[in-house]
Amino acid sequence: MKLTIVGCSGSFPGPQSPASCYLLSAEWEGRTWRILLDLGNGSLGALQRYTDLRGIDAIFLSHLHPDHCMDLCGLHVAVRWDPAGWERSRIPVYGPAATADRMASAYGLELDPGMHEDFDFRSWADRSAVSVGPFTVTPYQVVHPVEEAYALRVEAPMTGLDGDVTSRVLAYSGDTDTCEGVLDAARDADFFLCEAAFHEGRDDAITGVHLTGRRAGEIATRAAVKRLLLTHLPIWNDANVSIGEARESYDGQLAVAVAGVSYQV
C-alpha cells in the first residue's frame, strides 16, 4: 500500500502543512482503493492534490479533536452541493460513537438527518476489525483527553514477484500517551506513523495527552516495528530534537513526516 502525507501538523495547521490527514491507497481487484486516516482542519484542500474526492472509499477517524476530523464538514458540502452530483453510495465514516452528532453540531445542522444522507457513520468497537476493499482496520483504544481515542492498525495484502500474497501492516498512533493500546496496535508493524507532539524536559508535567520522540521510540522498539515516522509535531517543535529523542530509544529506520511525501509500505 502507498501512504501519502496530506497533513501532519500537530494540533492546528501550520504554514507548511494542514493538520492530520493520511491517504492510503492499494490496488485490488482491478482498481485503486483509497482510504483516509483522519481529516483534520485544512486537509481537504491539500487532499485534492492527490485524489479526486469522489475516489474516497472510506474515512477512519482516530478521535474527535478538530485537528483530526473537522474537514469532514467541508467534505459534506462537496458531497451535498456539487452541481455535477455524486453517483455513489454514502461514504463510510468510522469513528467514535459521537461522530455523527459532533459533525452535525459543528456545521449547525439538526442532528436528524445531520450528515447521515451523505455519510454512513459507523462506530468503533475496541479491537474489532472492519474491512473496506483490501484494507482491514483495527482500532485500539488509547489514552487521550477525549471520551474515545484510538490507534489504528491497517493491514493490506501485497503480491510478491513470485506471486505469493503477504500482508503489510501500517500502524497509526492517533493522539496518545504511552499505553498498552498503542503498543498492541504497533506490534510487528512494517511502518509506524507515530505522534511526537511533546518534548522531553519541556512537557514533563503534562501526562495522558501526547508522546515525546523518546516515548515514541520506546514504543517502536518494544513493538519491534520496522520503520518509524514521527508525525503531529506542532509548529513550535524542533524536528531535530524529536528525531534525537527517538534515536535514544529506537535504532531502526527513522524520519519525520513531511506533507506531500509518499511512502511505500
Q: What are 255-264's pLDDT values in tens digits?
A: 999 999 999 9
Rounded mean pLDDT of 224-247? 98
Q: Which domains does the chain have, with CATH numbers?
A: 2-264 (3.60.15.10)
Half-sphere exposure of 179 (CA within 13 A, CB side): 19
Q: What are 52-69's pLDDT values in tens digits?
A: 999 999 999 999 999 999
Would you place residue 161 in the very low, low, confident or very high pLDDT band (cuts 50, 70, 90)? low
Which grid cell sits at 260?
506531500
Rounded mean pLDDT of 159-187? 91
Asked whether residue 224 carries a pLDDT value surpassing 70, the answer given is: yes
Q: What are 113-134's pLDDT values in tens digits?
A: 999 999 999 999 999 999 999 9
Mean pLDDT for the chain overall: 96
Contact 255, 230 (CB under 8 A): yes
Please state whether the predicted TM-score (pTM) of the whole model is above 0.95. Answer: yes
Distance of CA 176 to the CA centre of its chain: 12
